[in-house]
A = this chain, B = another copy of it.
Amino acid sequence: MLKVGLLGAGRIGQVHAVNIAGHTRSTLVAVSDIHAEAASTLAAAHGAEARSSDAILNDPGIDAVLIATSTDTHSDLIEAAARSGKAVLCEKPVDLSLDRAQRCLEAVADRAATVMIGFNRRFDPNFAALKASLLKGDIGKPELLSITSFDPAPPPVDYIKVSGGLFRDMMIHDFDMANFLMGDAPVSVSAVGSSIVDPRIGAAGDVDTAVVTLRYGDGRIAVIKNSRRAVYGYDQRVELLGSTGLLQAGNMLENTVVRSTVDGVVSGKPTYFFLERYMPAYAAEWDAFVGAVLDGRPQSVTLADGIAALALAEAATRAARTGETVPLQG
């Protein structure tokens, strides 16, 4: 039974708490948060204790920590947790600074195999099935990847300001998905971004709509589309053209009801919120983490994976600003 400390009792921490407590091979022992009350409430709901982060990190009875705090604390906490010998599952992104993230990787080098980064979408049943089909050879050699990732509505501008920008905050998931599916790092990045959804986002120096193109050494291409607004719901699709076929993974719908009237044939919308869409993914992610720790295997989404996605986000940010194709070293 894996004894777990949860750092961060916010929205995403609460999702993880349910999965930690509900898993047959893990127990939630303690919760910390900068808001003491948030920690207490969440701990109580799952029969755990509220503690400080330090107390959790220093408790030899705790085997693993899940880091769900604000992004600026991730690198420090990963290092501290690794130092005290704990397995780590850290929410994405590793850091807003690529430099800082790389130093973190160096700092934990010999413990890196026990650190997992929370790119939950790899565990989405639809994307995972697409990858499995690809690996089975169902479409031959993948050649052209297309990722559509639209949020239902933009976050508050105050959040945008500290988010690191669309490429680091939102598209980072899609960079990881491209790395996951293409099984290689691209050699160049080009990007076009605009603020057309909300002018305040542009005023804050960010974009809300963007298209990024990745080119791979063997000529393969990936294109990622992001928008901060798709009023009909959370729109998350992947499409991969290969030499012998096409794979597409679509949205989860509210329900399967179809209504046909004189006004048309109406079916259910995509689920509106990322937590509805990705709830099974978070559970599967936790299960993969627990399995790796208890069975002594390295984590499936590594700290290096987290840094690879961050490097793409940084390059895309630059490409969108300059209009130039940004080369990447392999």
Interface 9-mer from A33-41, A86-94, A216-224, A297-305: A216-224
Is the beta-carbon distance between A261 and B249 smaller than 8 angstroms? no
Contact with B along A235-258 (1 / 0, CB 8 A): 100000101111111111111111
Tell me the residues in window 171-229 of chain A with beta carbons closer than 8 Å to chain B beta carbons: 188, 190, 192, 194-197, 209-211, 213, 215, 218-221, 223, 225, 227, 229
CA distance A235 to B241 in the complex (A): 11
Interface size on A, residues (CB 8 A): 70
Within 8 A of B (CB), among A278-325: 323-325
B245 near A232 (CB under 8 angstroms)?
yes
Complex CA distance for A270 and B245, rounded to whole angstroms: 12
For the complex, give the distance between the alpha carbons of A245 and B313 in Å.
27
Docked complex Cα distance between A204 and B160 (Å): 47
The answer to whether B209 touches A192, judged by C-beta atoms less than 8 angstroms apart, is no
* A138-B244 in contact (CB<8A): no
CB pair A245–B259 under 8 Å, yes or no, is yes
Interface string of A124-155 (1 = CB under 8 A from B): 01100110010000110001101010100000
Report the separation of the CA atoms of residues A232 and B241 in the bound assembly, to the nearest whole angstrom.
10
Give A residues with C-beta under 8 Å from B.
Answer: 22, 125-126, 129-130, 133, 138-139, 143-144, 146, 148, 150, 188, 190, 192, 194-197, 209-211, 213, 215, 218-221, 223, 225, 227, 229-233, 235, 241, 243-270, 323-325
| A–B Cβ pairs within 8 angstroms, 15 of them | A138-B261, A144-B227, A146-B225, A194-B215, A194-B220, A196-B219, A196-B220, A209-B219, A227-B241, A231-B243, A231-B244, A231-B262, A232-B261, A244-B261, A264-B267
Beyond A196-B220, A229-B243, list 10 extra A-B contacts (CB 8 Å): A129-B255, A143-B209, A194-B221, A232-B246, A233-B260, A247-B259, A249-B257, A252-B256, A265-B267, A324-B325
